[in-house]
Amino acid sequence: IPDTPHKCDDCEGWNKAREPFKIFGNSYFVGTDGLSSILIVGNAGHILLDGGLEQSAPIIDANIRKLGFKTQDIKLIVNSHGHFDHAAGIAALQRFTGATVAASPSGAKALSDGVNTPDDPQAGYPRALNAFPPVKNVRVIKDGAIQRVGNISVTPIFTPGHAPGSTTWTWQSCEDGKCLNMVYADSISAATGPGYRYSDHPDVIAQLRRSISRLGELPCDIVVSTHPSATGLDAKVQKRASRKTGDPDPFIDQGCRTLAANALKGLEAKLAEEKKQ
């Protein structure tokens, strides 16, 4: 049973249904048009990355079943960061599957409280907008501590700055004897709510710069970002559908470096804008 739908200006567009598809190997895109969710399939259960909005949970469930898998086989749900657009569907998915939910210390607090932590750059929005269904029994994890389910695993790479608990996830997927480095890149944009200026928080600017650098340096054959548009998912899907035998896979593009370069430009633009205020 899904929770009450979230209301926000972008929610309807974000939550449009999207056909699920195989990204590579045992990794599948099961999210919505504007919010990513990734299923990694294993021999002893599956791992799900992110749960979208409250109203995204039924779409994620339907997408998983459409691909021929059982949502009930999800044993672990992990989160990028505790904002309503990536975390609000997790409570319903946890209730349905009984899966363990794991997050960074700050991310776990946001999930457990059902709202951004007070030090979050977007905490200034009204609670009615930021709040989402709280998640029970969140396992707190350490940076780089591998999370395993049977023969599959994911590694958390803490990339704070967009949110204090922001986490990028990495793993390997194999197909036809070829193994690739997969990256689920958390948001690294300098987005702020009312009353917050990055310029007033040099420690957070330094954090975000480190996170951007860290993302750009990751082994990264295929990257999908929390908002799929940030890594050009639509164009890649279209190119893949029309490619001929022997053409390169458009998803294999070392896109972490491009994403990091764009984020750095965005941060510099944000700081320049704040200087004028």
- Picking from 185, 201, 226, 53, the residue whose alpha carbon sits closest to that of residue 123 is 201
The values of phi and psi at residue 183, to 5°, are: -135, 125
Contact (Cβ atoms closer than 8 angstroms) between residue 37 and residue 56? yes
The dihedral over CA atoms of 45, 165, 252, 63, expressed in degrees to the nearest 10, equals 40
- The catalytic site residues sit at 81, 83, 85-86, 162, 196, 227
Q: What element of type H or E holds 54?
A: none
Residue 64 has which token pair?
């998983």
Amino acid at 61: D
Instruction: Give 167's contacts (C-beta < 8 A, 6+ positions apart).
Output: 78, 79, 80, 81, 103, 104, 107, 156, 157, 158, 159, 186
Residue 57 has which token pair?
């949970």
Report the relative pairing of strands 100-103 and 74-78 from DSSP bridges: parallel
Residue 40 has which token pair?
């990694």
Alpha-carbon separation of residue 271 from 198, 200, 257, 267, 277 (angstroms): 7, 10, 21, 6, 10
Residue 21 has which token pair?
């598809």
Task: Give the E-state strand segments of 122-269 in sequence order.
Answer: 138-140, 147-149, 152-158, 167-175, 178-185, 222-225
Length of the chain equals 277
